[in-house]
Amino acid sequence: MAVYLKNGLFDPFKEVQQHQQQLEANIGKGQYGASAVFIGSMRDFNEARNVSSMTLEYYPGMTESALEVICQEAKEKWPVLDTLVVHRVGDIQPNDSIVLVAVWSAHRGAAYDANRYIMEALKSRAPFWKKETTASGGHWVEKNTPA
Amino acid sequence: MAVYLKNGLFDPFKEVQQHQQQLEANIGKGQYGASAVFIGSMRDFNEARNVSSMTLEYYPGMTESALEVICQEAKEKWPVLDTLVVHRVGDIQPNDSIVLVAVWSAHRGAAYDANRYIMEALKSRAPFWKKETTASGGHWVEKNTPA
Amino acid sequence: MAITVKFFARLREELGMDEVQLDFVAGLTTQQVWQNATRQEVLPAKTLVAINQQYASEQSLVKDNDEVAFFPPVTGG
Amino acid sequence: MAITVKFFARLREELGMDEVQLDFVAGLTTQQVWQNATRQEVLPAKTLVAINQQYASEQSLVKDNDEVAFFPPVTGG
């Protein structure tokens, strides 16, 4: 179970691969049958029409522990072998990856369910705040889109 | 929308990345906000205790078209920007990736829902048959595990 | 004036054949094609049927030049 | 004998401060800490509250050395 905040670009597929190699080193190969990966990335349109960039503020300490609690809840609800969460903070450009959630389990149901649980909980409870920049200035995103 | 059958190892993350680059070249960057990726891989235990290898038989022609129909259905049900399905055929070793489903969309709900729809439909309708090899010989897998 | 009949997976192994050509006879259902091809009275339970690579039923009628396939429940993914 | 009060995002910008130290007074709720820190009567609607980096309510009591945080609805992911 790992949670990382990244101030700067990250490659979600590299992160998943690296974590998966660690997982295989720890529990052996051939143990998980299902991996569900979700990547949220920055679009160039959102509440405002043309978003040129974005800043993600967070609460150092609380943000990490909120994400860890969420992943722990997922492990208690479903038979999950491992989880990985990576989230950007700081300045972000369109098309950058913002969030990565990966879940490994023996069967697909747990991987899908746990992954989505983590994403929904992250969206509603993890302390992150987006400020979008457009031609007319900056504004705080008021609320997250529902699933 | 792409469907590939692979006789031999494939790297699911490389496949997703390559397809995503094509997608960005086609529709422009910053268009999709959500990517949901599912990877099914071979465990070394299943119906039989210790599975040493597996062979995946398929129906050339029908398998590809069944997968294309399933992806088309997903695109009709949800606002999906693109889908990618890669499935192994032939001989497979434990820990190899068997199936990859990737879905790109503007919002996470469609990506999650369409991805799972494709996987469930694939499991119930796409003509693939697994034969597992154990120390005591080969046997056909009788039925797929439910989600 | 012929149809092609294909078998996959366990059925292919148990019957010892993967493909057979049959003379076309008008008005046959896939169930009757199975009987002609295998000399077995009934389709094994849960057998799936396709005509020209599309799912069909035991009662579907077979036309000239059709490709008819029989296979067990699928287990991919 | 002090508590730390933090503000994030829109609240931080509107109040023009990200952190303030207050003398500890026993028996205060987070709502009263907000009033003391900001000289505003009421918490803006939907404001979230945390004590020591765990979610709390407007009525939660604040202890000496606590870190109290106020922030708008979260918009990560």
CA distances for B87 relative to A108, B2, B22, B98, B125, angstroms: 16, 11, 19, 6, 14
pLDDT interval class at B145 (50, 70, 90):
confident
- Give contacts of B 53-92 with A, CB under 8 A: none
User: Which domains are present in chain A?
Assistant: 2-140 (3.90.1170.40)
Could you tell me where the beta strands, DSSP code E, fall in chain A? 2-6, 34-41, 53-58, 80-88, 90-92, 97-105, 128-134, 137-140
- With pLDDT > 70 as the criterion, what percentage of chain B qualifies? 97
Q: Which residues of B touch C50 (CB under 8 A)?
A: 59, 62, 127
3-state secondary structure of D29: strand
Tokens found for residue B57: 């038989």
Dist CA B84 CA B106 (whole Å):
16
Tokens found for residue D11: 């609240």
Taking residue A15's Cβ as centre, other Cβ atoms within 10 Å add up to 22
pLDDT of residue A70: 98
Q: Is residue D77 part of a domain?
A: no
pLDDT interval class at B44 (50, 70, 90):
confident
Q: Which of A39, A44, A95 to mutate to test the interface with B (most CBs of B within 10 A)?
A: A39
pLDDT interval class at B29 (50, 70, 90):
confident
- Contact with chain D for residue A42, Cβ under 8 A: no
Q: Is residue C19 part of a domain?
A: yes
Q: Which residues of A touch B115 (CB under 8 A)?
A: 112
CA-wise closest residue to A131 among C34, B56, D12, B62: D12
pLDDT of residue A29: 82
Subunits close to B (at least 3 CB pairs below 8 A): A, C
Secondary structure letter of residue D60 according to DSSP? P
Taking residue B147's Cβ as centre, other Cβ atoms within 10 Å add up to 13
Q: Is residue C76 part of a domain?
A: no
Span D2-54, pLDDT tens digits: 999 999 999 999 999 999 999 999 999 999 999 999 999 899 999 999 999 99
Asked if the Cβ–Cβ distance from D74 to A56 is below 8 Å, we say no
Span B106-132, pLDDT tens digits: 999 999 999 999 999 999 999 999 999
Q: How many CA atoms lie within 13 A of A126 on its CB side?
A: 33
Q: Burial level of C26, CB count in 10 A (0-12/13-18/19+)? A: exposed
D18 in Cβ contact with D29 (< 8 Å): no
Dist CA B102 CA C41 (whole Å):
44
- Contact with chain A for residue B35, Cβ under 8 A: yes
Print pLDDT tens along chain A (147 aa). 999 999 999 999 999 999 999 999 999 888 899 999 999 999 887 655 678 899 999 999 999 999 999 999 999 999 999 999 999 999 999 999 999 999 999 999 999 999 999 999 999 999 999 999 888 889 999 888 777
Q: Which residues of B touch A95 (CB under 8 A)?
A: 24, 29-30
Q: Is residue D67 part of a domain?
A: yes
Q: Domain count of chain D?
A: 1
- Contact with chain C for residue B130, Cβ under 8 A: yes
- Contact with chain A for residue D10, Cβ under 8 A: yes
Taking residue B61's Cβ as centre, other Cβ atoms within 10 Å add up to 13
Span B66-77, pLDDT tens digits: 999 999 999 999
Contact between chain B and chain A (3 or more Cβ pairs less than 8 Å apart): yes
Dist CA A125 CA C71 (whole Å):
49
- With pLDDT > 90 as the criterion, what percentage of chain B qualifies? 82
Look up the CATH number of the domain holding residue D22.
3.10.20.30
pLDDT of B49 above 70: no
pLDDT of residue A4: 98
pLDDT of residue B47: 58
Instruction: Determine the residue of chain A that is closest to D9 in CA distance.
Output: A129
Query: What pTM was computed for the model?
Result: 0.94
Dist CA A30 CA A24 (whole Å):
8
* Complex-level ipTM: 0.93
pLDDT of residue A135: 86
Asked if the Cβ–Cβ distance from A38 to B36 is below 8 Å, we say yes
Q: Burial level of B9, CB count in 10 A (0-12/13-18/19+)? A: exposed
pLDDT of residue B30: 83
Burial of C35-58, coded b for 16+ CB within 10 Å and e otherwise, reads: eebbeeeebeeebbbbbebeebee
Q: Which residues of A touch B24 (CB under 8 A)?
A: 95
Q: Which domain holds residue D42?
A: 2-71
pLDDT of residue A143: 84
pLDDT of residue A30: 83
A35 in Cβ contact with A17 (< 8 Å): no
Vertex B104: Cα angle to A7 and A67 (nearest 5): 40
Q: Is residue C60 part of a domain?
A: yes
Q: What torsion, rounded to 10 degrees, do the Cα atoms B87, B91, B95, B99 define?
A: 10
